[in-house]
């Protein structure tokens, strides 16, 4: 990075709205904290009163800078900036002039029309990057002409970075609340923006104020009204009485954000403050204040991120009262929490550092960027498969997001700390580097390397054609992470045949927790019982009387799991067993139960082989095909004695188990997830890439588009 970089901010500045200036000021103050050696300048309209309190060097123009190109050129010549940040301002010739003088150029936009201007050639070809200070759902996607233009001229797409918030310490927050006697108090914050906007001749700030007063009288909850720096009238009498809201005229951006976060509810215009509230995770009521806000508000309402009010005193008050209801507040909060966090300020600062760095420094900084991983989940069985991989990813400092969709998966199995992308548009915007899939299909229109990690160990289930399901190639994956020699050999043959994917043996990440060294000693023997759902193969119903008798008779612990598609009446029988030594295990929690047991009893389930990898014995009942690694019993009258015998002599079939496991999963180091990530890194680095491109696979991708209702191209 240059020793003393010079940065010039050119925001829209007028006697009305102050959003662009406020955002630029937040960003400038953040740069001052992160790059203290930087010198920062602003070009501001001389008629904007806020310019007088700007803490940085200000160059005044007769108009907003967009209309004063001579002034912009003069300042650029005078200070020779290394970086010029145009915030919704600037003409194309101003961009090109800055570039001709050796400056990097950033263009910040906040709505569709402004973004379209940024994609006009004079701006596009003279910008190093363009940032959209909206989440992707609040602005329409690029149209096909815009995408073609970017591709033709090899320019990066505008990046949605969301709201830019100041960095505030707990001490600063407490000091402000204490100063205004708000510490420990519940209050609602009302703000209509800059204060100068009108509706039918009335100042919207006055409409908000009257609504705040009505709200305080109706609910007894204190109202805090921020009129804004451009409010032209004298502020109403203020106080902390039951009748009078606490009123502020002008607040700096930091103080306003503190109040926005500290309030128990917010009533806002649908401008930047609404996006800031969402970024902070805070539910709000919002009403339209200016003409550019309706599309943004509609997009937020569609996702249930805000409670929308008409711009009238009565409706604003009514909606604020509605927000005090716990069910309404929590519903909005849950929707906000489902969003992918953006952290616009942090992104902008990191990108600015890259722009100011030397080419060598920029390359090194880019290399340190964390990988973005996506887990594509359509079945409940995916959760325990992916969690060991998630832990390995996070340990490396990378990012994981889950995309859970379809009728056959329960999103409530996600744990609190696990981050979920709710809509397919969120997934596209996330732009993952790698997509991990335990299932069979994944859309090609999601970015990134597509990696199959399988939902089970190799089986023998076949199509009518005789083809084994485990080895079906669907033309959707770049990499197959195989589990052992029995699958690796066949997949590597297929990889050579097709040429557009690789197959590498890594072991199966789901089994990593089986081989940790923290297993606690047990005082009693324990049995794991599992059953499949198919009426032909399931023995759960016929085994129920014997197993219930054994549960009551012997001091063994029992862990039971039944396939989710099991006959409900049979499942209810087992779930109704109320004995202290019996635990019913959900399918997402099997691994921990495997480790607590000495023996598995099963009919026909793929988890037999998962259990065997511990080198513990498995007894099957009336299995049609005999396998050396399994102890099969056909006569129910002999089953109890066989269970007792194997518990007494657990190594009875050890040699056959060892031989079998060495073929389908020889890894017992608990490091399969690490091997998967190592292989992925090699492919991302351009090593071991397939020799051919993946086929287009039109029909499968069309079906997935239809299921996901995603038709953008």
Residues in the chain: 713
pLDDT band at 368 (very low <50, low <70, confident <90, very high): low
Q: What is the pLDDT of residue 139?
A: 85
Task: Report DSSP letters for 290-308, one per residue.
Answer: STT-HHHHHHHHHTT-SEE
pLDDT for 323: 97
Share of the chain above pLDDT 70, in %: 94
What mean pLDDT comes out for the span 569-576?
91
- pLDDT value for 605: 80
CATH number of 517-664: 3.40.50.2000
Q: pLDDT at residue 613 above 60?
A: yes
Looking at 368-372, 380-384, 540-544, which range is the least confident one? 368-372
Residue 462 has pLDDT above 70, yes or no: no
Same topology, domains 6-160 and 373-511+672-708? Answer is: yes
- Sign, CA torsion 113/119/124/130: positive
Residue 365: predicted pLDDT: 59
Give dist(CA 381, CA 410) in Å, integer: 10
Is residue 614 helix, strand or coil? coil
Residue 667 CB partners (closer than 8 Å, separation 6+): 484, 507, 508, 511
Res. 468 pLDDT band, cuts 50 70 90:
low
- Return the structure tokens found at 347: 């992104």
Strand 39-45's sheet: what is its strand order?
57-61, 39-45, 6-11, 83-87, 104-109, 129-132, 159-160
* pLDDT at residue 259, as a whole number: 95
Higher pLDDT, 360 or 94: 94
Give per-residue burial for 264-299: e unless 16+ CB within 10 Å, then b.
bbbbbbbbbbbbbbbbeebbbbbbbbbebbeebbeb
Over residues 337-358, the mean pLDDT reads 85
Task: Determine the pLDDT at residue 361.
Answer: 66
Query: pTM to 2 decimals?
Result: 0.70
Which pLDDT band, with edges at 50, 70 and 90, does 461 fall under?
Answer: low
Residue pair 608/531 in contact (Cβ under 8 Å)? The answer is no
Range 373-511+672-708 classified under CATH 3.40.50: yes
Residue 16: the pLDDT is: 62
Cβ atoms of 216 and 242 closer than 8 Å: yes
Per-residue pLDDT band at 358 (split at 50, 70, 90): confident
Q: How do residues 189-224 score in pLDDT, each as one tens digit?
A: 999 988 889 998 899 999 999 999 999 999 999 999
Cβ neighbours of 174 (radius 10 Å): 13
Q: Give percent helix, percent strand, percent coil of the chain, each to the nearest 5.
A: 40, 15, 40
- H/E element, 177: helix 170-179
- The CATH number that domain 170-337 falls under is 3.40.50.2000
Whether domain 6-160 has CATH 2.40.50.140: the reply is no
Residue 374 contacts residue 436 (beta carbons within 8 Å): yes
* Domain boundaries along the sequence of the chain: 6-160, 170-337, 373-511+672-708, 517-664
Cα–Cα distance measured from residue 219 to residue 122, given in angstroms and rounded to the nearest whole number: 54
* The pLDDT of residue 521 is above 90: no
pLDDT of residue 222: 93
Q: pLDDT for 384-438, tens place per residue?
A: 999 999 999 999 999 999 999 888 888 888 888 888 888 888 898 888 999 999 9
Whether the pLDDT of residue 170 is over 60: the answer is yes
Express each pLDDT in 47-97 by its tens digit: 887 777 899 999 999 888 999 999 999 999 999 999 999 999 999 999 999
pLDDT score for 296: 87
Q: How far apart are CA 599 and CA 612, in angstroms?
A: 10
Distance between CA atoms of residues 510 and 382, nearest Å: 9
């Amino acid at each position: 990075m240059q020793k003393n970089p010079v940065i010039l901010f050119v925001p829209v500045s007028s006697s009305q709205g102050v959003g662009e200036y406020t955002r630029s000021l937040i960003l400038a103050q953040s740069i001052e904290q992160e790059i203290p050696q930087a010198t920062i300048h602003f070009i501001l309209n001389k008629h904007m009163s806020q310019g007088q309190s700007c803490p940085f060097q200000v160059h005044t123009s007769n108009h907003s800078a967009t209309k004063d190109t001579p002034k912009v050129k003069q300042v650029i010549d005078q200070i020779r900036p290394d970086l010029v940040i145009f915030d919704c301002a600037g003409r194309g010739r101003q961009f090109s002039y800055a570039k001709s003088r050796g400056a990097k150029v950033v263009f910040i936009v906040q709505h569709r029309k402004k973004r379209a201007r940024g994609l006009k050639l004079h701006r596009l070809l003279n910008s190093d990057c363009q940032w959209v200070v909206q989440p992707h759902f609040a602005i329409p996607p690029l149209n096909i002409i815009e995408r073609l233009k970017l591709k033709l001229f090899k320019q990066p797409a505008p990046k949605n970075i969301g709201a830019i918030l100041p960095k505030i310490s707990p001490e600063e927050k407490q000091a402000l609340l204490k100063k205004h006697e708000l510490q420990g108090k519940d209050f609602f914050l009302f703000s209509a923006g800059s204060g100068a906007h009108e509706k039918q001749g009335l100042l919207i700030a006055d409409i908000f104020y009257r609504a705040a007063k009505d709200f305080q009288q109706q609910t007894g909850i204190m109202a805090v009204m921020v009129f804004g720096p451009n409010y032209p009238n004298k502020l109403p009498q203020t106080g902390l009485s039951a009748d009078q809201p606490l009123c502020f005229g002008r607040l700096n951006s930091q103080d306003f954000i503190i109040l926005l976060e500290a309030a128990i509810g917010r009533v806002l215009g649908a401008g930047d403050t609404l996006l800031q509230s969402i970024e902070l995770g805070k539910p709000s009521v919002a009403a339209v204040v200016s003409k550019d806000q309706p599309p943004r508000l509609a997009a937020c309402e569609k996702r249930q991120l805000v409670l929308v009010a008409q711009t009238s005193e009565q409706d604003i008050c009514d909606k604020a009262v509605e927000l005090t209801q716990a069910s309404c507040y929590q519903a909005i909060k849950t929707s906000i929490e489902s969003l992918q966090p953006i952290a616009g300020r942090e992104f902008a600062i990191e990108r600015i550092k890259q722009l100011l760095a030397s080419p060598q420094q920029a390359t090194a900084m880019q290399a340190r960027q964390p990988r973005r991983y996506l887990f594509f989940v359509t079945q409940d069985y995916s959760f325990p498969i992916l969690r060991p991989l998630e832990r390995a990813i996070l340990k490396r400092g990378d990012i994981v997001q889950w995309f859970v969709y379809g009728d056959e998966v329960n999103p409530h199995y996600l744990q609190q700390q696990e981050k979920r992308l709710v809509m397919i548009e969120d997934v596209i915007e996330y732009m993952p580097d790698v997509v991990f899939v335990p299932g069979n299909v994944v859309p090609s229109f999601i970015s990134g390397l597509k990696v199959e990690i399988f939902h089970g160990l190799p089986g023998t289930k076949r199509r009518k054609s005789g083809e084994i399901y485990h080895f079906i190639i669907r033309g959707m994956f770049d990499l197959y992470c195989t589990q052992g020699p029995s699958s690796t050999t066949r997949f590597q043959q297929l990889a050579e045949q097709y040429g557009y994917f690789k197959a590498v043996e890594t072991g199966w990440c789901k089994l990593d927790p089986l081989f940790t060294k923290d297993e606690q000693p047990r005082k009693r023997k324990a049995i794991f019982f599992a059953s499949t759902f198919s009426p032909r193969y399931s023995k759960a119903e016929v085994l129920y009387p014997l197993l219930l008798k054994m549960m009551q008779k012997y001091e063994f612990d029992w862990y039971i799991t039944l396939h989710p598609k099991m006959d409900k009446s049979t499942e209810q029988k087992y779930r109704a067993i109320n004995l202290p030594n019996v635990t019913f295990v959900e399918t997402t929690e099997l691994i921990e139960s495997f480790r607590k047991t000495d023996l598995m009893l099963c009919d026909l389930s793929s988890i037999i082989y998962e259990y065997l990898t511990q080198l513990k014995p498995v007894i099957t009942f009336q299995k049609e095909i005999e396998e050396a690694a399994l102890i099969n019993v056909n006569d129910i009258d002999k089953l109890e004695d066989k269970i007792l015998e194997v518990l007494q002599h657990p190594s009875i079939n050890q040699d056959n188990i060892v031989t079998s496991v060495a073929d389908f999963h020889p890894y017992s180091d608990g490091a399969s997830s690490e091997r998967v990530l190592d292989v992925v890194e090699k492919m991302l680095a351009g090593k071991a890439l397939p020799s051919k491109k993946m086929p287009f696979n039109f029909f499968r991708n069309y079906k997935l588009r239809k299921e996901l209702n995603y038709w953008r191209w």
